[in-house]
């Protein structure tokens, strides 16, 4: 079965925000992505608005007819925005102001009541996903929230070297099997590149991949159209 590829355009906005101007415009990037083999777009509206801005979401909704996965922190402010935008999917992620990027999955053990409230306040048409580390206890808690599925954090796998890489891969495989057995829909993301995605894409239970930084980085050398289709080809051999 074809695996779904969503392209995260946050880092087009990062470059724009470096000069606080209008260029490069993530919405223009979405128009190119629409012509590629990718299926959808991911945008993370961070609380500090360091890359994607609220107006990008409104412009996306008006002009881009592709499924949107909105990544957001589990806060009331973000729920209000998501319920206005009504993306196909929302992925709840933890956020810390000082982190360079999302550093790990949501800790449901610590935040279950708060997350439950956020999940229940999102428009019922939005598919809710939770970004989670490969930890079966967390996955079981996610299942209890009645959500659509989980996105497994591949960041630790991406950063690992030597035998640790095998250990992280094994954990992801086991989590994918467990989540699938609970009927949770499965995505994976963070730190995935053309070089490291093959073994993750080979995990049968994972349906969907969210890739950003590496694709936008490669686009500097090969163009966005080319870099998106290259990673699509790795996922769907």
* Binding residues vs ligand PXP (CB under 6 A): 8, 10, 44, 71, 91, 93, 101-102, 131, 151, 189-192, 210-214
- List 11, 51, 71, 208, catalytic entry: 71
Burial string for 43-56 (b: 16+ CB within 10 Å, else e) reads bbbbeeeebbbeeb
Comparison of 141 and 188: residue with beta carbon closer to ligand PXP: 188
Minimum Å distance from CB 158 to ligand PXP? 7
Minimum Å distance from CB 106 to ligand PXP? 9
What does the alpha-carbon distance between residue 134 and residue 130 come to, in Å, rounded to a whole number?
A: 12
> If residue 214 lies in a helix (H) or strand (E), which one and from where to where?
helix 213-222
Does the annotation mark 190 as catalytic?
yes
Phi, psi of 143 (to 5 degrees): -60, -40
Phi, psi of 41 (to 5 degrees): -125, 145
Comparison of 62 and 221: residue with beta carbon closer to ligand PXP: 221
Minimum Å distance from CB 209 to ligand PXP? 9
Comparison of 43 and 79: residue with beta carbon closer to ligand PXP: 43
Residue whose pair of structure tokens reads 């998106």 in the numeric block: 228
Residue 198 CB neighbour total at 10 angstroms: 11
Minimum Å distance from CB 69 to ligand PXP? 9
- List 190, 205, 208, 218, catalytic entry: 190
- Angle, in degrees to the nearest 10, between helices 108-121 and 136-144: 30
Q: Which residues contact 178 (CB under 8 A, 6 or more apart)?
A: 136, 139
Minimum Å distance from CB 10 to ligand PXP? 6
- List 11, 44, 151, 205, catalytic entry: 44
What does the alpha-carbon distance between residue 103 and residue 111 come to, in Å, rounded to a whole number?
A: 17
Does the annotation mark 103 as catalytic?
no
What does the alpha-carbon distance between residue 201 and residue 184 come to, in Å, rounded to a whole number?
A: 17
What does the alpha-carbon distance between residue 91 and residue 131 come to, in Å, rounded to a whole number?
A: 6
Comparison of 3 and 190: residue with beta carbon closer to ligand PXP: 190
Comparison of 131 and 232: residue with beta carbon closer to ligand PXP: 131
Residues marked active site are found at 44, 71, 190
């Amino acid at each position: 079965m074809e695996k779904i590829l969503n392209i995260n355009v946050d880092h087009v906005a990062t470059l724009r925000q470096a000069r606080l101007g209008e260029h490069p415009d993530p919405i223009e990037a979405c128009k190119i992505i629409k012509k590629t083999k990718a299926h959808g777009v991911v945008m993370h509206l961070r609380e500090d608005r360091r890359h994607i801005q609220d107006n990008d979401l409104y412009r996306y909704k008006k002009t881009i007819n592709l499924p949107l996965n909105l990544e957001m922190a589990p806060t009331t402010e973000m729920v209000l925005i998501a319920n206005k935008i009504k993306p196909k999917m929302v992925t709840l992620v933890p956020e810390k102001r000082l982190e360079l990027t999302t550093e790990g999955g949501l800790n449901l053990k610590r935040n279950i009541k708060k997350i439950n409230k956020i999940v229940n306040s999102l428009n019922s048409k939005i598919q809710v996903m939770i970004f989670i580390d490969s930890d079966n206890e967390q996955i079981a808690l996610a299942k209890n929230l009645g959500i659509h599925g989980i996105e497994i954090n591949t960041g630790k796998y991406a950063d690992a070297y030597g035998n640790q890489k095998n250990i992280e891969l094994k954990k992801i495989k086991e989590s994918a099997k467990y989540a699938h057995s609970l009927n949770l829909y499965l995505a994976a993301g963070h730190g995935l590149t053309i070089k490291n995605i093959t073994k993750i894409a080979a995990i049968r239970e994972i349906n969907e991949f969210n890739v950003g930084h590496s694709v936008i980085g490669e686009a500097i050398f090969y163009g966005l159209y080319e870099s998106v289709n290259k990673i699509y080809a790795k996922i769907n051999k």
